[in-house]
Structure 1
Amino acid sequence: MFDFFVDPRNVLRLSTRILWTGLIMLLIGIVGAYLIELHANLIVLVSMHAMTIIGPTLLKIGYVMRLLSQHNLRLQHA
């Protein structure tokens, strides 16, 4: 498991997936929580509001992972 994180290219690919997942969750959460809120039941509405919190969190985590992997790739090439 930890061998996966040793290679910066693996971390870079994972960070890209996390960034896309966070962006999609954020956009779906915004649309669901604020644009179609009258047509959703309470559980769906709470889930959409949670996605507006979890999405940006994944964006931040993915961005930091991307920065670290790019830094480590530069160190390997130098």
Structure 2
Amino acid sequence: MFTFLESPLNVLHLSSKVLVAGLIVLLAGIYGAYLYQGNMPIALLVAMHAMTILGPTLLKIGYVMRLLAQYQTRRTLAIH
């Protein structure tokens, strides 16, 4: 696992997947927590509200991963 994260390109690809997952989680949470008009169990409603917190968290983590991967790639290219 750690050897996978040593490559900036691997981290860049992973960050894209984390960003997409964060967006999907956020949009699903917003729809379920605020836009859906039907009845749902309280546990599911709580999960939807939690998704509105977890989605932006994943977006931030993915964005920082992307910035770090781009910085490392530029630094590697500047050395060579």
TM-score clears 0.5: yes
CA RMSD after TM alignment = 1.0
Instruction: Give the corresponding residue for 2:28.
Output: 28
Runs of 5+ in structure 2 lacking a partner?
A: none
> Counterparts of 1:21 and 1:55 in 2: how far apart (Å)?
8
Letter paired with 2:2:
F
Unaligned runs of 5+ in 1: none
Q: Secondary structure at the match of 1:39?
A: coil
Alignment of 1:67-78 (within 5 A): 67-78=67-78
1:7-22 to structure 2, matched below 5 A, reads 7-22=7-22
Q: Is the 8 A contact 1:19 1:58 kept in 2?
A: yes
CA distance in 2, matches of 1:23, 1:39: 24
Q: How many residues align?
A: 78
1:37 CA drift (Å)? 5.2
Q: CA deviation at 1:36?
A: 1.2
Q: Specify whether residues 60 and 28 from structure 1 end up closer, same or farther in structure 2 by C-alpha distance, changes over 3 A only.
A: same
What residue identity is the alignment partner of 2:52?
T
TM-score, with structure 1 as normaliser = 0.95
Give aligned-pair identity as a percent. 59
- Contact preservation (8 Å) 1:37, 1:45: no
Q: Which 4+ stretches in 1 moved above 4 angstroms?
A: none
Partner of 2:59: 59
- 2:29 and 2:36 map into 1 onto residues whose CA distance is 10
TM-score for the superposition, normalised by structure 2: 0.92
